[in-house]
Amino acid sequence: MLEQQWRGIAAQSDAVLLDGFHALKHAWRFGADVVLAVTSDKPAAIALTAKLAPDLVERASAELIETDLSKLGIPVHPTSIAAWASRPAEPTWGGPRTAPVVLLDNPRHLGNVGAVIRLAAGMNATGVVTTGTLDPWHPNVVRASAGLHFATAVARVSPQALPPGRLYCLDPDGADIREVTFPADAVLAFGSERHGISAQVRGQADELVAVPMRPGVSSFNLATSVAMALFHWMTRSG
C-alpha cells in the first residue's frame, strides 16, 4: 500500500523529491507541504534528528514512516530518509522587494544551481530564477540545495519575462563591482561558466558588472560568483 502511495505521488507534476535528511529538515523548517516522509530505520532517523535538528524531533517522530526504501525505486540516501513535498505556487514579483533576485542564464550544471539556491536562501535573497531548459526543481538540484528551495523563491522564466528591477549582468567587460551599489530590488544575472551571459539577456542589462580576477584565470565557479555578488550587496545594504 505504501509503495503504491509513493508511486502515485511521484506521478504528480508538482511532486518534489526530498532526498535525505537535510532536504527534509529544511522543507519542514520553511513550511513545505511534505506529503509523505519515509525511512528504513526510524530509531536511527530520530536519533539523527535529535542530534542535528532537535526542534524537529516531535515532527519526525510523528510523520516518518519506516519501510524498505529499496522497494520504492529510488537510490537510498546515506541517511536512509526520503520524502515527497508539493512544489509551491509560482512566485510573483509584484510589490517592493528588500533583496535581489538571482538570475542564472541558461545554466547547465544541476549541482551548481542547487548550490546557488542554497546561497540565496542563506543570504536571504528574494529568489533564484533560471532561463533555459534545466529544471531548477530537478531532484539533483533540490539535493544540492539541501532542500532550501523552500526558503526562497525558485522558478524558471523566459528571457522575455524576467522579474522586474534594475538588471545587472556579471560580465568581464563590466564596471568593477567594488564601485557599484546594488539596489534592494536588483536582478543579478550570471551566465554559465563556458558561455557567459546570452546576448538576449545581456541586451536587456541596465549595467554590466565585473568581479576583479587575476590575469590568466578564465572564470570563477558559478556559485562562487553569486556568493561574491550577494556578499557585496549585503555589505552595502542598509
Residues 175-210: tens digit of each pLDDT: 999 999 999 999 999 998 677 899 999 999 999 999
Average pLDDT, the chain: 93
Please name every residue paired with 154 in a beta bridge, in sequence order, or none if there are none. Answer: 128
Three cell numbers at 37?
516522509
Name the H helices within the chain. Answer: 2-10, 21-29, 42-52, 57-63, 110-122, 139-144, 199-202, 222-236
Cα distances (angstroms) measured from residue 113 to each of 136, 139, 178: 7, 11, 25
Class for domain 101-236, per CATH? alpha beta
Q: 19 with 27: CB under 8 angstroms?
A: no
**Percent of the residues in the chain that have a pLDDT greater than 70, as a whole number:** 99
Q: Which CATH class is domain 2-86?
A: alpha beta
- The whole-angstrom separation of Cα 157 and Cα 139 is 19
Predicted local distance difference test score (pLDDT) of residue 219: 79
**CA of 48: how far to CAs of 21, 41, 44, 58, in Å?**
8, 11, 6, 13
How do the domains of the chain map onto residue ranges? 2-86, 101-236
Tens-binned pLDDT, residue by residue, of the chain (238 aa): 898 999 999 899 999 999 999 999 999 999 999 999 999 999 999 999 999 999 999 999 999 999 999 888 888 888 999 999 999 999 988 778 999 999 999 999 999 999 999 999 999 999 999 999 999 999 999 999 999 999 999 999 999 999 999 999 999 889 999 999 999 999 999 998 677 899 999 999 999 999 988 888 877 889 999 999 999 999 976 5
d(CA 120, CA 100): 9
